[in-house]
Chains A and B, each alone.
Chain A
Protein backbone atom coordinates (compact mmCIF):
# COMPACT_ATOMS: atom_id res chain seq x y z
CA UNK A 1 0.00 0.00 0.00
CA UNK A 2 2.92 2.37 0.66
CA UNK A 3 3.15 5.01 -2.13
CA UNK A 4 0.21 3.34 -3.87
CA UNK A 5 -3.11 4.85 -4.73
CA UNK A 6 -5.52 3.64 -2.05
CA UNK A 7 -9.31 3.47 -2.43
CA UNK A 8 -11.22 3.12 0.84
CA UNK A 9 -14.01 0.73 -0.14
CA UNK A 10 -17.54 1.48 1.07
CA UNK A 11 -19.95 -1.31 1.83
CA UNK A 12 -23.56 -1.01 2.90
CA UNK A 13 -25.33 -4.10 4.24
CA UNK A 14 -22.84 -6.48 2.71
CA UNK A 15 -22.61 -4.88 -0.72
CA UNK A 16 -19.96 -2.70 -2.29
CA UNK A 17 -21.51 0.69 -3.17
CA UNK A 18 -21.58 2.18 -6.68
CA UNK A 19 -19.55 5.14 -5.47
CA UNK A 20 -16.71 2.74 -4.67
CA UNK A 21 -16.52 1.73 -8.34
CA UNK A 22 -16.37 5.40 -9.41
CA UNK A 23 -13.49 5.79 -6.92
CA UNK A 24 -11.77 2.71 -8.33
CA UNK A 25 -12.03 4.19 -11.83
CA UNK A 26 -10.45 7.43 -10.58
CA UNK A 27 -7.82 5.45 -8.67
CA UNK A 28 -6.98 3.40 -11.78
CA UNK A 29 -6.43 6.62 -13.73
CA UNK A 30 -3.94 7.85 -11.11
CA UNK A 31 -2.20 4.51 -10.63
CA UNK A 32 -1.69 4.02 -14.37
CA UNK A 33 -0.49 7.60 -14.84
CA UNK A 34 1.94 7.43 -11.92
CA UNK A 35 2.98 3.87 -12.68
CA UNK A 36 2.16 2.71 -9.18
CA UNK A 37 -0.19 0.15 -7.64
CA UNK A 38 -3.87 0.51 -6.78
CA UNK A 39 -4.86 -0.92 -3.40
CA UNK A 40 -8.45 -1.25 -2.26
CA UNK A 41 -8.79 -1.05 1.52
CA UNK A 42 -11.75 -3.16 2.59
CA UNK A 43 -13.00 -2.72 6.15
CA UNK A 44 -15.77 -4.72 7.81
CA UNK A 45 -16.67 -8.12 9.18
CA UNK A 46 -16.20 -11.24 7.02
CA UNK A 47 -15.76 -9.05 3.94
CA UNK A 48 -12.96 -10.94 2.14
CA UNK A 49 -15.57 -12.49 -0.14
CA UNK A 50 -16.34 -9.04 -1.55
CA UNK A 51 -12.74 -8.65 -2.75
CA UNK A 52 -13.54 -10.52 -5.98
CA UNK A 53 -15.70 -7.53 -7.05
CA UNK A 54 -12.73 -5.21 -6.80
CA UNK A 55 -10.82 -6.34 -9.90
CA UNK A 56 -9.95 -2.75 -10.79
CA UNK A 57 -7.47 -2.85 -7.89
CA UNK A 58 -4.16 -4.70 -7.98
CA UNK A 59 -4.43 -5.66 -4.32
CA UNK A 60 -7.17 -5.75 -1.74
CA UNK A 61 -6.11 -5.19 1.88
CA UNK A 62 -8.72 -6.37 4.40
CA UNK A 63 -9.29 -5.23 7.97
CA UNK A 64 -11.83 -7.46 9.61
CA UNK A 65 -13.42 -7.40 13.03
CA UNK A 66 -16.80 -8.28 14.47
CA UNK A 67 -16.81 -4.73 15.85
CA UNK A 68 -16.82 -3.39 12.28
CA UNK A 69 -19.94 -5.11 10.91
CA UNK A 70 -21.81 -1.91 10.10
CA UNK A 71 -20.37 1.53 9.52
CA UNK A 72 -19.30 3.09 12.81
CA UNK A 73 -17.73 6.52 12.23
CA UNK A 74 -15.20 6.60 15.05
CA UNK A 75 -14.21 2.91 14.95
CA UNK A 76 -13.70 2.98 11.18
CA UNK A 77 -11.77 6.24 11.40
CA UNK A 78 -9.38 4.81 13.98
CA UNK A 79 -8.58 1.56 12.18
CA UNK A 80 -8.17 3.18 8.77
CA UNK A 81 -5.93 5.94 10.18
CA UNK A 82 -3.71 3.33 11.90
CA UNK A 83 -3.30 1.34 8.67
CA UNK A 84 -2.50 4.37 6.57
CA UNK A 85 0.00 5.65 9.12
CA UNK A 86 1.87 2.35 8.93
CA UNK A 87 2.06 2.41 5.14
CA UNK A 88 1.34 5.91 3.80
CA UNK A 89 -0.09 5.83 0.26
CA UNK A 90 0.52 8.62 -2.26
CA UNK A 91 -3.22 9.38 -2.60
CA UNK A 92 -6.15 8.08 -0.52
CA UNK A 93 -9.59 8.22 -2.13
CA UNK A 94 -12.83 8.43 -0.15
CA UNK A 95 -16.37 8.81 -1.49
CA UNK A 96 -18.32 12.03 -1.16
CA UNK A 97 -20.91 10.07 0.81
CA UNK A 98 -22.35 9.62 4.26
CA UNK A 99 -19.43 7.30 5.06
CA UNK A 100 -16.54 8.89 3.22
CA UNK A 101 -17.12 12.40 4.54
CA UNK A 102 -17.22 11.15 8.15
CA UNK A 103 -13.74 9.72 7.68
CA UNK A 104 -11.72 11.74 5.17
CA UNK A 105 -11.11 14.96 7.15
CA UNK A 106 -10.30 13.27 10.45
CA UNK A 107 -7.89 10.87 8.76
CA UNK A 108 -6.25 13.69 6.78
CA UNK A 109 -5.73 15.67 9.99
CA UNK A 110 -4.19 12.67 11.76
CA UNK A 111 -1.82 12.07 8.85
CA UNK A 112 -1.06 15.77 8.43
CA UNK A 113 -2.17 15.47 4.81
CA UNK A 114 -4.21 17.97 2.78
CA UNK A 115 -7.76 17.06 1.81
CA UNK A 116 -9.51 17.88 -1.47
CA UNK A 117 -13.34 17.94 -1.47
CA UNK A 118 -15.84 17.31 -4.29
CA UNK A 119 -13.26 15.97 -6.72
CA UNK A 120 -14.94 15.05 -9.98
CA UNK A 121 -12.02 13.92 -12.10
CA UNK A 122 -8.32 13.26 -11.68
CA UNK A 123 -5.53 13.11 -14.27
CA UNK A 124 -1.78 12.74 -14.51
CA UNK A 125 -0.02 15.39 -16.61
CA UNK A 126 3.75 15.19 -17.11
CA UNK A 127 4.02 12.84 -14.19
CA UNK A 128 2.07 15.20 -11.93
CA UNK A 129 -1.31 14.12 -10.53
CA UNK A 130 -4.04 16.76 -10.77
CA UNK A 131 -7.62 17.16 -9.60
CA UNK A 132 -10.73 18.96 -10.87
CA UNK A 133 -13.46 19.74 -8.33
CA UNK A 134 -17.01 20.83 -8.96
CA UNK A 135 -17.92 23.48 -6.39
CA UNK A 136 -20.51 26.20 -5.77
CA UNK A 137 -23.42 23.97 -6.75
CA UNK A 138 -21.69 22.91 -9.95
CA UNK A 139 -21.17 26.49 -11.15
CA UNK A 140 -17.38 26.52 -10.69
CA UNK A 141 -14.62 24.04 -11.52
CA UNK A 142 -11.52 24.35 -9.32
CA UNK A 143 -8.30 22.69 -10.48
CA UNK A 144 -4.83 22.10 -9.19
CA UNK A 145 -2.09 19.59 -8.44
CA UNK A 146 -2.62 16.76 -5.92
CA UNK A 147 0.23 17.58 -3.52
CA UNK A 148 2.63 15.01 -2.08
CA UNK A 149 3.89 13.15 -0.24
CA UNK A 150 0.34 12.15 0.62
CA UNK A 151 -3.08 13.62 -0.07
CA UNK A 152 -6.66 12.69 0.80
CA UNK A 153 -9.17 13.15 -2.02
CA UNK A 154 -12.97 12.97 -1.66
CA UNK A 155 -14.45 11.73 -4.94
CA UNK A 156 -17.97 12.63 -6.00
CA UNK A 157 -19.79 10.39 -8.45
CA UNK A 158 -20.47 11.79 -11.92
CA UNK A 159 -16.91 12.09 -13.17
CA UNK A 160 -16.56 8.33 -13.57
CA UNK A 161 -19.31 5.85 -14.24
CA UNK A 162 -19.45 2.90 -11.85
CA UNK A 163 -19.01 0.54 -14.85
CA UNK A 164 -15.54 1.98 -15.47
CA UNK A 165 -14.50 0.67 -12.07
CA UNK A 166 -15.96 -2.82 -12.52
CA UNK A 167 -13.14 -4.85 -13.99
CA UNK A 168 -13.33 -8.60 -14.20
CA UNK A 169 -9.94 -9.61 -12.78
CA UNK A 170 -8.90 -11.30 -9.59
CA UNK A 171 -6.91 -9.03 -7.30
CA UNK A 172 -4.43 -10.29 -4.72
CA UNK A 173 -6.13 -10.33 -1.32
CA UNK A 174 -4.37 -10.07 2.01
CA UNK A 175 -5.38 -9.44 5.61
CA UNK A 176 -4.04 -6.59 7.71
CA UNK A 177 -3.81 -6.79 11.49
CA UNK A 178 -6.88 -5.14 13.02
CA UNK A 179 -5.97 -2.25 15.30
CA UNK A 180 -7.87 -1.99 18.60
CA UNK A 181 -11.45 -0.88 18.02
CA UNK A 182 -12.83 -0.84 21.58
CA UNK A 183 -13.99 2.29 23.32
CA UNK A 184 -15.36 4.06 20.24
CA UNK A 185 -17.65 6.94 21.20
CA UNK A 186 -20.02 6.14 18.35
CA UNK A 187 -22.05 2.91 18.39
CA UNK A 188 -24.18 1.56 15.54
CA UNK A 189 -27.62 0.44 16.78
CA UNK A 190 -29.80 -0.48 13.83
CA UNK A 191 -31.02 0.46 10.37
CA UNK A 192 -34.36 2.16 9.98
CA UNK A 193 -36.00 1.18 6.71
CA UNK A 194 -37.36 3.89 4.41
CA UNK A 195 -41.03 4.70 4.61
CA UNK A 196 -43.16 2.45 2.43
CA UNK A 197 -45.49 4.41 0.16
CA UNK A 198 -48.02 3.78 -2.58
CA UNK A 199 -45.96 5.69 -5.13
CA UNK A 200 -42.49 4.43 -6.02
CA UNK A 201 -40.81 7.15 -8.10
CA UNK A 202 -38.09 4.72 -9.22
CA UNK A 203 -40.73 2.78 -11.18
CA UNK A 204 -42.59 5.74 -12.73
CA UNK A 205 -42.04 6.51 -16.40
CA UNK A 206 -43.00 10.19 -16.19
CA UNK A 207 -41.78 12.47 -13.42
CA UNK A 208 -42.62 16.14 -13.00
CA UNK A 209 -39.87 17.07 -10.59
CA UNK A 210 -39.94 20.33 -8.67
CA UNK A 211 -37.13 22.32 -7.11
CA UNK A 212 -36.72 25.48 -5.12
CA UNK A 213 -37.63 27.55 -8.21
CA UNK A 214 -41.26 26.51 -7.77
CA UNK A 215 -41.21 29.30 -5.14
CA UNK A 216 -43.96 28.21 -2.78
CA UNK A 217 -45.97 25.25 -1.62
CA UNK A 218 -49.13 26.35 -3.44
CA UNK A 219 -47.37 26.01 -6.79
CA UNK A 220 -46.77 22.28 -6.17
CA UNK A 221 -50.39 21.89 -7.22
CA UNK A 222 -49.51 23.16 -10.71
CA UNK A 223 -47.01 20.30 -10.99
CA UNK A 224 -49.54 17.81 -9.60
CA UNK A 225 -52.09 18.83 -12.25
CA UNK A 226 -49.57 18.51 -15.07
CA UNK A 227 -48.36 15.13 -13.77
CA UNK A 228 -51.97 13.93 -13.66
CA UNK A 229 -52.64 14.70 -17.34
CA UNK A 230 -49.29 13.16 -18.33
CA UNK A 231 -49.98 10.00 -16.35
CA UNK A 232 -46.97 10.58 -14.12
CA UNK A 233 -46.23 11.68 -10.58
CA UNK A 234 -44.50 14.57 -8.85
CA UNK A 235 -41.03 14.17 -7.40
CA UNK A 236 -38.64 16.82 -6.14
CA UNK A 237 -35.22 17.95 -5.06
CA UNK A 238 -33.89 18.11 -1.51
CA UNK A 239 -34.82 21.74 -0.65
CA UNK A 240 -38.47 21.11 -1.52
CA UNK A 241 -38.59 18.00 0.66
CA UNK A 242 -36.76 19.76 3.51
CA UNK A 243 -39.39 22.49 3.39
CA UNK A 244 -42.02 19.82 3.92
CA UNK A 245 -43.66 20.52 0.54
CA UNK A 246 -43.21 16.91 -0.61
CA UNK A 247 -42.77 13.71 1.43
CA UNK A 248 -39.27 12.20 1.71
CA UNK A 249 -39.96 9.15 -0.53
CA UNK A 250 -40.47 11.59 -3.43
CA UNK A 251 -36.91 12.93 -3.21
CA UNK A 252 -34.61 12.44 -6.21
CA UNK A 253 -30.82 12.62 -5.85
CA UNK A 254 -27.85 11.59 -3.80
CA UNK A 255 -29.72 11.04 -0.55
CA UNK A 256 -33.02 10.30 -2.24
CA UNK A 257 -33.84 7.93 -5.06
CA UNK A 258 -32.12 7.08 -8.33
CA UNK A 259 -34.80 7.36 -11.01
CA UNK A 260 -34.90 6.28 -14.66
CA UNK A 261 -38.06 7.73 -16.24
CA UNK A 262 -38.83 8.12 -19.94
CA UNK A 263 -39.53 11.79 -19.25
CA UNK A 264 -37.95 13.85 -16.49
CA UNK A 265 -39.45 17.32 -16.43
CA UNK A 266 -37.27 19.39 -14.09
CA UNK A 267 -39.17 22.44 -12.88
CA UNK A 268 -37.18 25.11 -11.04
CA UNK A 269 -34.34 22.69 -10.34
CA UNK A 270 -30.90 24.29 -10.64
CA UNK A 271 -29.06 21.02 -11.18
CA UNK A 272 -26.71 20.83 -8.20
CA UNK A 273 -24.40 17.79 -8.41
CA UNK A 274 -26.25 16.08 -5.52
CA UNK A 275 -29.46 16.18 -7.53
CA UNK A 276 -27.90 15.11 -10.84
CA UNK A 277 -26.60 11.96 -9.15
CA UNK A 278 -30.19 10.72 -9.08
CA UNK A 279 -31.01 11.14 -12.79
CA UNK A 280 -28.20 9.77 -14.98
CA UNK A 281 -30.62 7.39 -16.66
CA UNK A 282 -33.49 9.71 -17.55
CA UNK A 283 -34.31 9.08 -21.23
CA UNK A 284 -35.61 12.54 -22.08
CA UNK A 285 -35.02 15.48 -19.81
CA UNK A 286 -36.74 18.84 -20.16
CA UNK A 287 -35.66 21.66 -17.85
CA UNK A 288 -37.70 24.73 -16.96
CA UNK A 289 -35.65 27.33 -15.12
CA UNK A 290 -35.57 31.13 -15.29
CA UNK A 291 -31.79 31.12 -14.72
CA UNK A 292 -30.33 30.53 -18.18
CA UNK A 293 -26.98 29.62 -16.58
CA UNK A 294 -28.44 26.90 -14.34
CA UNK A 295 -26.29 23.73 -14.59
CA UNK A 296 -29.44 21.68 -15.25
CA UNK A 297 -29.33 22.95 -18.86
CA UNK A 298 -25.99 21.18 -19.35
CA UNK A 299 -27.59 17.79 -18.82
CA UNK A 300 -31.15 18.38 -20.07
CA UNK A 301 -32.05 17.61 -23.68
CA UNK A 302 -34.52 20.49 -23.98
CA UNK A 303 -34.79 23.62 -21.92
CA UNK A 304 -36.67 26.84 -21.51
CA UNK A 305 -36.35 29.93 -19.34
CA UNK A 306 -40.12 30.48 -19.39
CA UNK A 307 -41.74 31.09 -16.01
CA UNK A 308 -42.95 27.76 -14.63
CA UNK A 309 -45.95 29.37 -12.92
CA UNK A 310 -47.31 30.33 -16.38
CA UNK A 311 -45.91 27.43 -18.36
CA UNK A 312 -47.20 24.52 -16.25
CA UNK A 313 -50.90 25.52 -16.50
CA UNK A 314 -50.44 26.21 -20.23
CA UNK A 315 -48.98 22.73 -20.72
CA UNK A 316 -51.74 21.14 -18.65
CA UNK A 317 -54.50 22.90 -20.61
CA UNK A 318 -53.04 22.08 -24.01
CA UNK A 319 -52.50 18.43 -23.09
CA UNK A 320 -56.10 18.20 -21.87
CA UNK A 321 -57.35 19.58 -25.19
CA UNK A 322 -55.10 17.33 -27.25
Chain B
Protein backbone atom coordinates (compact mmCIF):
# COMPACT_ATOMS: atom_id res chain seq x y z
CA UNK B 1 0.00 0.00 0.00
CA UNK B 2 1.42 3.37 -0.99
CA UNK B 3 0.52 6.19 1.36
CA UNK B 4 1.04 9.94 1.21
CA UNK B 5 1.06 11.93 4.45
CA UNK B 6 0.87 15.72 4.14
CA UNK B 7 2.13 17.48 7.28
CA UNK B 8 0.80 20.90 8.13
CA UNK B 9 2.76 23.20 10.43
CA UNK B 10 0.73 25.14 12.99
CA UNK B 11 1.50 27.66 15.76
CA UNK B 12 2.87 26.05 18.91
CA UNK B 13 0.07 26.79 21.38
CA UNK B 14 2.38 26.44 24.35
CA UNK B 15 3.85 29.79 23.36
CA UNK B 16 2.01 33.04 23.92
CA UNK B 17 0.12 34.20 20.83
CA UNK B 18 -0.15 37.90 20.06
CA UNK B 19 -2.11 40.01 17.64
CA UNK B 20 -0.19 42.30 15.29
CA UNK B 21 -1.70 45.78 15.79
CA UNK B 22 -1.00 46.84 12.20
CA UNK B 23 -2.80 43.92 10.54
CA UNK B 24 -5.21 42.89 13.27
CA UNK B 25 -4.13 39.30 12.64
CA UNK B 26 -1.93 36.78 14.43
CA UNK B 27 1.59 38.16 14.78
CA UNK B 28 3.71 35.47 13.17
CA UNK B 29 7.09 37.09 13.88
CA UNK B 30 7.93 35.03 16.94
CA UNK B 31 5.43 32.20 16.58
CA UNK B 32 7.11 28.81 16.67
CA UNK B 33 5.63 26.52 14.04
CA UNK B 34 5.38 22.82 14.82
CA UNK B 35 3.86 19.84 12.97
CA UNK B 36 0.12 19.57 13.60
CA UNK B 37 -0.36 16.94 16.27
CA UNK B 38 -3.02 14.95 14.42
CA UNK B 39 -0.78 14.87 11.34
CA UNK B 40 1.78 13.10 13.54
CA UNK B 41 -0.94 10.56 14.26
CA UNK B 42 -1.60 10.25 10.51
CA UNK B 43 2.10 9.53 9.97
CA UNK B 44 2.09 6.92 12.73
CA UNK B 45 -0.97 5.22 11.23
CA UNK B 46 0.74 5.21 7.82
CA UNK B 47 3.87 3.61 9.28
CA UNK B 48 1.78 0.97 11.09
CA UNK B 49 0.00 0.11 7.81
CA UNK B 50 3.32 -0.09 5.98
CA UNK B 51 4.66 -2.47 8.62
CA UNK B 52 1.65 -4.76 8.18
CA UNK B 53 1.05 -4.48 4.45
CA UNK B 54 4.32 -3.36 2.92
CA UNK B 55 4.36 -0.44 0.49
CA UNK B 56 5.72 3.05 0.87
CA UNK B 57 5.14 6.18 2.92
CA UNK B 58 5.77 9.59 1.37
CA UNK B 59 5.75 12.62 3.68
CA UNK B 60 5.20 16.02 2.14
CA UNK B 61 5.12 19.51 3.62
CA UNK B 62 5.12 23.11 2.54
CA UNK B 63 8.29 24.98 3.44
CA UNK B 64 7.12 27.31 6.18
CA UNK B 65 10.74 27.54 7.39
CA UNK B 66 12.46 25.11 9.77
CA UNK B 67 10.64 22.06 8.42
CA UNK B 68 13.71 19.96 7.59
CA UNK B 69 14.06 18.44 11.04
CA UNK B 70 10.46 17.22 10.98
CA UNK B 71 11.04 15.68 7.56
CA UNK B 72 14.26 13.93 8.64
CA UNK B 73 12.47 12.74 11.78
CA UNK B 74 9.76 11.23 9.56
CA UNK B 75 12.49 9.58 7.51
CA UNK B 76 14.12 8.18 10.65
CA UNK B 77 10.76 6.81 11.76
CA UNK B 78 10.41 4.88 8.52
CA UNK B 79 9.15 7.17 5.75
CA UNK B 80 10.53 6.30 2.32
CA UNK B 81 10.43 9.68 0.66
CA UNK B 82 10.36 13.21 2.09
CA UNK B 83 9.25 16.18 0.01
CA UNK B 84 9.38 19.91 0.71
CA UNK B 85 7.54 22.41 -1.47
CA UNK B 86 8.76 25.98 -1.47
CA UNK B 87 6.87 29.13 -2.34
CA UNK B 88 7.64 32.81 -1.89
CA UNK B 89 4.51 33.70 0.08
CA UNK B 90 4.46 30.95 2.73
CA UNK B 91 5.89 32.93 5.65
CA UNK B 92 2.59 34.65 6.49
CA UNK B 93 0.81 31.32 6.69
CA UNK B 94 -0.92 29.42 3.90
CA UNK B 95 -4.65 28.82 4.02
CA UNK B 96 -5.99 25.32 3.53
CA UNK B 97 -7.42 26.03 0.07
CA UNK B 98 -4.00 27.12 -1.19
CA UNK B 99 -2.27 24.31 0.71
CA UNK B 100 -4.44 21.64 -0.91
CA UNK B 101 -4.11 23.19 -4.39
CA UNK B 102 -0.32 23.06 -3.97
CA UNK B 103 -0.43 19.50 -2.61
CA UNK B 104 -2.64 18.35 -5.48
CA UNK B 105 -0.05 19.55 -7.99
CA UNK B 106 2.86 18.17 -6.03
CA UNK B 107 1.45 14.64 -5.76
CA UNK B 108 0.05 14.48 -9.29
CA UNK B 109 2.81 12.13 -10.48
CA UNK B 110 3.05 10.01 -7.31
CA UNK B 111 0.94 6.83 -7.39
CA UNK B 112 -0.88 6.23 -4.08
CA UNK B 113 -3.62 4.16 -2.49
CA UNK B 114 -4.23 6.41 0.50
CA UNK B 115 -3.66 9.94 1.69
CA UNK B 116 -3.66 10.13 5.49
CA UNK B 117 -4.02 13.53 7.18
CA UNK B 118 -4.97 14.67 10.65
CA UNK B 119 -8.74 15.09 10.89
CA UNK B 120 -8.16 18.75 11.65
CA UNK B 121 -5.43 21.21 12.52
CA UNK B 122 -5.55 23.61 15.46
CA UNK B 123 -5.45 26.69 13.23
CA UNK B 124 -7.94 25.61 10.55
CA UNK B 125 -10.14 28.51 9.42
CA UNK B 126 -11.14 27.58 5.85
CA UNK B 127 -12.01 23.91 6.16
CA UNK B 128 -9.41 21.20 6.72
CA UNK B 129 -6.68 19.74 4.52
CA UNK B 130 -8.12 16.19 4.27
CA UNK B 131 -11.63 16.87 2.95
CA UNK B 132 -10.48 19.78 0.74
CA UNK B 133 -7.77 17.64 -0.86
CA UNK B 134 -10.23 14.76 -1.34
CA UNK B 135 -12.63 17.12 -3.11
CA UNK B 136 -9.86 18.29 -5.45
CA UNK B 137 -8.78 14.73 -6.20
CA UNK B 138 -12.37 13.51 -6.63
CA UNK B 139 -11.80 10.86 -3.96
CA UNK B 140 -13.93 9.73 -1.02
CA UNK B 141 -13.08 11.20 2.39
CA UNK B 142 -13.80 9.84 5.84
CA UNK B 143 -12.58 11.63 8.97
CA UNK B 144 -12.46 11.05 12.76
CA UNK B 145 -10.76 7.71 12.14
CA UNK B 146 -9.27 5.72 15.00
CA UNK B 147 -8.52 2.38 13.28
CA UNK B 148 -7.61 1.33 9.73
CA UNK B 149 -7.49 -2.27 8.55
CA UNK B 150 -6.98 -3.66 5.09
CA UNK B 151 -7.84 -7.15 3.91
CA UNK B 152 -7.43 -8.27 0.30
CA UNK B 153 -7.66 -4.75 -1.00
CA UNK B 154 -10.75 -3.86 1.07
CA UNK B 155 -10.15 -1.03 3.47
CA UNK B 156 -12.21 -0.93 6.66
CA UNK B 157 -12.02 2.05 9.01
CA UNK B 158 -13.47 2.85 12.42
CA UNK B 159 -15.00 6.32 12.61
CA UNK B 160 -15.43 7.83 16.04
CA UNK B 161 -18.69 9.28 17.37
CA UNK B 162 -19.24 10.84 20.81
CA UNK B 163 -19.17 8.65 23.89
CA UNK B 164 -16.78 6.07 22.47
CA UNK B 165 -19.20 4.72 19.83
CA UNK B 166 -17.54 3.93 16.51
CA UNK B 167 -18.91 3.10 13.08
CA UNK B 168 -17.22 0.57 10.84
CA UNK B 169 -17.10 1.82 7.26
CA UNK B 170 -15.68 0.18 4.12
CA UNK B 171 -13.81 2.56 1.85
CA UNK B 172 -12.80 1.97 -1.77
CA UNK B 173 -9.24 3.04 -2.48
CA UNK B 174 -7.76 5.38 -3.49
CA UNK B 175 -9.16 7.53 -0.71
CA UNK B 176 -8.30 10.30 1.72
CA UNK B 177 -8.69 9.60 5.43
CA UNK B 178 -8.71 12.04 8.36
CA UNK B 179 -7.02 10.44 11.35
CA UNK B 180 -8.27 11.35 14.83
CA UNK B 181 -5.86 9.05 16.65
CA UNK B 182 -3.40 6.43 15.43
CA UNK B 183 -3.81 2.92 16.81
CA UNK B 184 -0.64 3.49 18.84
CA UNK B 185 0.85 6.72 20.21
CA UNK B 186 3.19 8.33 17.65
CA UNK B 187 6.57 6.61 17.95
CA UNK B 188 9.57 8.30 19.44
CA UNK B 189 12.81 8.25 17.55
CA UNK B 190 16.19 8.91 19.12
CA UNK B 191 18.17 11.96 18.01
CA UNK B 192 21.05 9.84 16.70
CA UNK B 193 18.75 8.27 14.10
CA UNK B 194 17.46 11.70 13.05
CA UNK B 195 21.09 12.88 12.71
CA UNK B 196 21.84 9.82 10.63
CA UNK B 197 18.85 10.57 8.38
CA UNK B 198 20.12 14.13 7.99
CA UNK B 199 23.42 12.75 6.68
CA UNK B 200 22.10 9.96 4.48
CA UNK B 201 18.66 11.07 3.26
CA UNK B 202 17.80 13.78 0.77
CA UNK B 203 14.79 16.04 0.88
CA UNK B 204 13.10 16.18 -2.50
CA UNK B 205 12.62 19.93 -3.02
CA UNK B 206 10.00 21.26 -5.38
CA UNK B 207 8.58 24.68 -6.16
CA UNK B 208 4.87 25.50 -5.85
CA UNK B 209 3.23 26.25 -9.18
CA UNK B 210 0.66 28.90 -10.02
CA UNK B 211 -2.69 28.59 -8.32
CA UNK B 212 -6.07 30.04 -9.10
CA UNK B 213 -8.00 32.36 -6.79
CA UNK B 214 -10.83 30.68 -4.96
CA UNK B 215 -13.68 32.01 -2.85
CA UNK B 216 -12.52 32.45 0.74
CA UNK B 217 -14.12 34.07 3.74
CA UNK B 218 -12.10 37.09 4.75
CA UNK B 219 -10.78 37.30 8.30
CA UNK B 220 -11.24 40.95 9.14
CA UNK B 221 -9.70 40.72 12.56
CA UNK B 222 -8.37 38.50 15.30
CA UNK B 223 -8.41 38.99 19.04
CA UNK B 224 -7.41 37.24 22.23
CA UNK B 225 -10.77 36.10 23.63
CA UNK B 226 -11.97 38.04 26.61
CA UNK B 227 -14.24 35.96 28.69
CA UNK B 228 -16.85 37.47 30.94
CA UNK B 229 -15.78 35.29 33.81
CA UNK B 230 -12.40 34.22 35.08
CA UNK B 231 -11.41 31.74 37.73
CA UNK B 232 -10.68 33.15 41.15
CA UNK B 233 -6.92 32.63 41.26
CA UNK B 234 -5.19 31.20 44.30
CA UNK B 235 -1.52 32.07 44.73
CA UNK B 236 1.13 30.70 47.03
CA UNK B 237 3.32 27.65 47.43
CA UNK B 238 1.95 24.11 47.12
CA UNK B 239 1.09 23.89 50.84
CA UNK B 240 -0.74 27.24 50.89
CA UNK B 241 -2.67 26.52 47.70
CA UNK B 242 -3.62 23.06 48.99
CA UNK B 243 -5.02 24.61 52.21
CA UNK B 244 -7.00 27.17 50.23
CA UNK B 245 -8.41 24.58 47.81
CA UNK B 246 -9.49 22.32 50.66
CA UNK B 247 -11.23 25.38 52.11
CA UNK B 248 -13.12 25.79 48.83
CA UNK B 249 -14.06 22.09 48.79
CA UNK B 250 -15.37 22.33 52.37
CA UNK B 251 -17.38 25.44 51.57
CA UNK B 252 -18.99 23.61 48.61
CA UNK B 253 -19.73 20.57 50.75
CA UNK B 254 -17.47 18.37 48.64
CA UNK B 255 -15.30 17.26 51.55
CA UNK B 256 -16.22 17.10 55.22
Contact = CB atoms under 8 A, between A and B. Distances in A.
Nearest to A277: B162
A293 B231 contact: no
B223 A141 contact: yes
B135 to A, nearest CB: 4
A47 interface: no
A110 B135 contact: yes
Interface stretch (A26-34, A35-43, A52-60, A302-310): A302-310
Given A139-B224, A188-B167, A270 B131 contact: no
A306 B234 CA distance: 9
Contact of B140 (A98, A186, A283, A311): A186
A12 B156 contact: no
Interface residues of B, number: 88
Interface string A70-82: 1111100000000
The residue in A137, A283, A305, A317 that gathers the most chain B C-beta atoms within 10 A of its C-beta is: A137
A238 B105 CA distance: 34
Interface string A111-136: 01111111000000000000101111
A143 B223 contact: yes
Contacts, number: 270
A298 B119 CA distance: 27
B245 A73 contact: no
Contacts of B217: 114-116, 131, 144-147, 151
Contacts of A145: 217-218, 220
Contacts of B140: 73-74, 184-186
A287 B233 CA distance: 9
A298 B135 contact: no
Interface in A170-190: 184-190
B144 A98 contact: yes
B141 A300 contact: no
Contacts of B219: 142-144
A67 interface: no
B193 interface: no
Contacts of B220: 143-145
B255 interface: yes
B232 interface: yes
Interface stretch (A1-9, A161-169, A191-199): A191-199
Interface in B237-252: 237-239, 241-243, 245-246, 248-249, 252
A108 interface: yes
B235 interface: yes
Contacts of B255: 230, 319, 322
B41 interface: yes
Interface string A230-268: 100000001100111000110100111110001100000
A285 B232 CA distance: 11
B123 A135 contact: yes
Interface stretch (B11-19, B53-61, B194-202): B11-19
Contacts of A185: 139-140, 171-172, 175
B180 interface: yes
B65 interface: no
Interface in A195-236: 195, 206, 230
A48 interface: no
Interface in A137-159: 137-147, 151, 154
A136 B122 contact: yes
B161 interface: yes
A106 B136 CA distance: 9
A173 to B, nearest CB: 26
Contact of A192 (B26, B125, B167, B214): B167
Given A105-B132, A262-B254, A311-B238, A189 B156 contact: yes
B161 A98 contact: yes
A49 to B, nearest CB: 22
The residue in A238, A255, A263, A291 that gathers the most chain B C-beta atoms within 10 A of its C-beta is: A255
B235 to A, nearest CB: 7
Contacts of A230: 254-255
The residue in B17, B128, B156, B254 that gathers the most chain A C-beta atoms within 10 A of its C-beta is: B254
B185 A243 contact: yes
Given A114-B126, A191-B166, 16 more contacts: A102-B131, A102-B144, A105-B135, A114-B217, A117-B124, A135-B125, A144-B218, A185-B139, A186-B172, A192-B165, A193-B165, A244-B185, A256-B163, A302-B234, A303-B232, A314-B238
